Amino acid sequence: MSLAIDVNGLNKSYGDKHVVQDARIQVEEGHICGFLGPNGSGKTTTLRMLCGLLTPDSGSGTCLGLDIIKDSSEIKLQTGYMPQKFSLYEELTIEENLRFFARIRRLDRRKERIESALERLGLQSRRDQPAGQLSGGWKQRLALAGSILHEPKLLLLDEPTAGVDPEARRHFWEQIHILAGEGVTVLVSTHYMDEAVRCHEITYIVYGRIKASGTAEEVVAQTGLITFEGEGARADLLSRELSGRPGVEMAAPFGKSIHVCGTDRAALEAAIAPYRREPYRWHEVEASLEDVFIQLMDGAEDEKP
């Protein structure tokens, strides 16, 4: 296994707020790793430490085989970073933005690189359109084009599809998988569960601490979470009654049904026993990533800064 990212013990504080605590992240070359967690959990700070935009208070490791502290300038040259907020110039056209980006980076083969990026992201017909006139999905395509113009080996994407419609999200992820197939390593933060399962592996961070890592199947298995689904008239309203009962680590509505989860089977079954009657129907289901993440987040409430 060749690791593009291999860091351990990363810490970052702002004043008395410990934003990232002893983070350990490993991502194989050419893999897509989903970086998940609630707002304020340190995802953006971690991404910026990995690419050299922020210096960790402590910790060590490598990105692309380079030391994240000593070689941060070299890591920047080989990394594409796409922030959550669109950061290119809205008064410039798509092509002008890419030309400006190429000149800032002092790239060779500028025309060739720009034409390739325009074609890859389907931007040729809009090349003369000002960036400020683009929809969210097209802006994200332009931002991605700018991020890969220098042919990086590592791509860090900070919630790239937030506020983007489903079709644009699907196209965006198709491009991410194509890039990974070409050997680019991708670390992408997201809130969407359907995007998490598109990744080769996932890392979940809660309030600065890494809580789970691995494939989606491995993360679910690591928790040992048992899930029962309750259906029937207004079963979703049972969450208030079941939350906090012995054995119930998470009770959450899922549409018109409810998922009740825990790791102690006997206690969990005892908790739902009073509700095994009409109009409710219960059956055991495989825990979903959403079940796991809700449980991990609830379990970390005491660690919230």
pLDDT digit string, tens, across residues 61-90:
999 999 999 999 999 999 999 988 888 899
Nearest to 53 by CA among 34, 79, 85, 28: 79
Segments of the chain assigned to CATH 3.30.70.860:
226-286
Segments of the chain assigned to CATH 3.40.50.300:
3-78+152-219
Q: Give the CATH architecture of domain 226-286.
A: 2-Layer Sandwich (3.30)
Q: What is the mean pLDDT of residues 76-105?
A: 92
Give the model's pLDDT for residue 1: 67
Q: Position 156: which residue type?
A: L
Confidence of residue 38 (pLDDT cuts 50, 70, 90): confident
Q: What percent of the chain has pLDDT over 90?
A: 73
Q: What tokens does 206 get?
A: 């809660």
Give the model's pLDDT for residue 293: 84
Rounded CA gap, 138 and 144, in Å? 10
Q: Give the CATH architecture of domain 3-78+152-219.
A: 3-Layer(aba) Sandwich (3.40)
226-258 as b/e: b if 16+ CB within 10 A: bbbbbbbeebbebbeebeebebbbbbbbbeebb
How many CA atoms lie within 13 Å of 222's alpha carbon, on the beta-carbon side?
17
Note the Cα 262 to chain centre separation in Å.
25
pLDDT digit string, tens, across residues 123-152:
999 999 999 999 988 999 999 999 999 999
CA end-to-end span of the chain, whole Å? 36
pLDDT digit string, tens, across residues 27-36:
999 999 999 9
Is the pLDDT reported for residue 216 higher than 60? yes
Nearest to 194 by CA among 297, 289, 285, 298: 289
